[in-house]
Amino acid sequence: MKRVEKHYMSILGLVLALVVILSPQTRGNLFGFSAITNNNAGNGSVFAAQLSLEVTEVISHPEQVLFTFRNNLGLFTVGALSEVYFADGTLLGIASIINDPGNVVFKEGAQPKDLPGGENLEPPFTGENTTALFAAQESESGNWAAVDPGESLGILFNLQSGATFANVITAIGLGFTNPLAPGSLRIGIHVQKIGGANSDSFILTPVPGAVILGLLGLGAVGLKLRKFA
């Protein structure tokens, strides 16, 4: 009986996840991250599986788009997302920061102003190579206000005049295939204390469909879908 119940719970979790992802009411696109530095002897590449970004259309305000960063529960119980960087696509400016209730407290702007390790990418991920570089970081030292495993952070952006959610998704695609193209958007993050050790930086990547459930925190962690939009 327990085996049957687990089977149906797995199916239910899959159905609910697909409803949330594909629903026209949310129109959210899910992405993952890959490590661009190796300060943790390979741990950064493993930790990348715990990181995800959902880009969501704000139905009531089509001139805005919400970016929700999640540090999902996983193998590592230590690792604090401390800075996020946007370069720069159809984004006009940060409208608001939506902190996960609890210990996440972010503010606009970041130090360092460029994504650590981003200068080694081709093309470099730096403010010099973009029209604008937007960033946010935890507001307190010591990482207590950063995004720990199980927590999330929302960044609500105003879009440039005439731009839409679809334009943002197109810009992200250009960031993957042709970062130098006008209007392309790349997104990077900096995570500290991975496994209790050093920090690493990550850049946005497409997410294979097979890992969507893992990024949403389904399975061993359970069904926990939260929306800021």
Whether 229 and 26 have beta carbons less than 8 Å apart is answered as yes
- Alpha carbons 34 and 215: distance in angstroms, whole number: 13
pTM, entire model: 0.80
pLDDT attached to residue 128: 75
Count, residues in the chain: 229
The pLDDT score that the predictor gives to residue 9 is 34
From edge to edge, which strands make up the β-sheet containing 200-206? Answer: 91-99, 151-159, 64-71, 51-57, 28-35, 200-206, 185-192, 80-88, 134-138, 106-108
Residue 21 CB neighbour total at 10 angstroms? 18
Give the pLDDT of residue 77: 87
Residue numbers in the chain where pLDDT is lower than 70: 1-27, 129, 131, 142, 208-229
Which residues are within 8 A (CB) of 62 and not within 5 positions of it... i.e. 6 or more apart?
A: 164, 165
